[in-house]
Amino acid sequence: MTNKKVSTDDLIALIIKGIDEVKGENIQLLDLRDIENTVCDYFIICSGNSNTQVNAISGSIQKIVSKELKDKPWHIEGQTNSEWVLMDYVNVAVHIFQKHVREYYDIESLWGDAKITEIKSV
- Dump pLDDT digits (tens) for 22-48: 999 999 999 999 998 888 999 999 999
pLDDT at position 3:
37
pLDDT reading at 115 higher than 60: yes
pLDDT at position 95:
98
Give the span between the Cα atoms of 103 and 58, in whole angstroms.
Answer: 19
Name beta bridge partners: 75: 88
This prediction has a pTM of 0.91
On whether the CB atoms of residues 4 and 71 are closer than 8 A, the answer is no
- Dump pLDDT digits (tens) for 87-112: 999 999 999 999 999 999 999 999 88
What average pLDDT score do residues 51-70 get? 95
What are the structural domains, with CATH classification, of the chain? 8-110 (3.30.460.10)
What does the mean pLDDT of the chain come to? 92
With 0-12 CB in 10 A as exposed, 13-18 as middle and 19+ as buried, what is 93?
Answer: buried
